[in-house]
Structure 1
Amino acid sequence: MSDLRTPALTAAALAAVLGSALLATTAPVHAGDKAMAKEKCFGVAMAGKNDCAAGPGTSCAGTAKADHQGNAWKFVPTGTCTKTPSTTSPTGFGQLTAFTAKSADKAM
């Protein structure tokens, strides 16, 4: 009776090991693709909706105090940042680096 169970257990163990190895090699590729396809875009996040690093006095994600804050960024698809509108940016669009936001009075 033990001779019949051993091949079945061996096959199941082998399938589990191969399945785990396949999943382990697939996950990092997807994570890497996602990270490479995004860039930090300053001045496009809405208040409390930034991804991270909203400047002095803030810690990380969700800490921007104002819409289009010049030192708060959001991940956007690579190549779209400088085409995304920003009401506080000197150019009127998102920036790849932090900037000093223009005031609403100067914008008009």
Structure 2
Amino acid sequence: MQKSARIASALAAAVALGLVSTAQAQQHPASGGKEKCYGVAKAGANDCANLSGTHSCAGQAKTDNDAAEWKFVAKGTCKSMGGLTADEAKAKLKGM
């Protein structure tokens, strides 16, 4: 009886881990539900490194709406927020 209980527990754990992995994959920004949007991050609220290379971490944006800074936003909403694609942001920075 103890052996079957252990086997059942092991199977339940394996199934639970599989479900957690699936849920995490669905929430990850790169999984398709999010896109990088440049020029919409507030100071201290960017998601990662900027285009100009002055920092490589989240939360280090110095000014609001800097074209070099980005945030993940829901796919298809960047333009309506006044944001830029990576190519548009690079072109804007090049022209400055």
One of 59, 76, 85 as aligned partner of 1:96 = 85
**Aligned pair in 2 of structure 1 residues 80, 49: CA closer, same or farther (>3 Å)?**
same
Over the matched positions of the two proteins, sequence identity in percent amounts to 37
Separation in 2, partners of 1:44, 1:71: 10
Q: Is 1:48 aligned to 2:44, yes or no?
A: yes
2:16 corresponding residue in structure 1: 23
Amino acid at match of 2:59: G
Q: Is 1:79 aligned to 2:70, yes or no?
A: no
TM-superposed CA distance for 1:24, in Å, is 2.2
TM-superposed CA distance for 1:40, in Å, is 0.7
1:58 corresponding residue in structure 2: 55
4+ residue runs over 3 A deviation: none
2:26 corresponding residue in structure 1: 33
TM-superposed CA distance for 1:96, in Å, is 2.0
TM-superposed CA distance for 1:48, in Å, is 0.7
Q: For 1:76, what is the secondary structure of its paired residue?
A: strand
Q: For 1:41, what is the secondary structure of its paired residue?
A: strand
Separation in 2, partners of 1:67, 1:15: 54
Separation in 2, partners of 1:28, 1:83: 32
Separation in 1, partners of 2:64, 2:57: 15
TM-superposed CA distance for 1:28, in Å, is 2.6
TM-score where L is the length of structure 2: 0.78
Separation in 1, partners of 2:39, 2:5: 54
RMSD over equivalenced CA pairs, Å:
1.6
Gaps of 5+ in 2: none
* Greater gyration radius: 1
Aligned length: 86
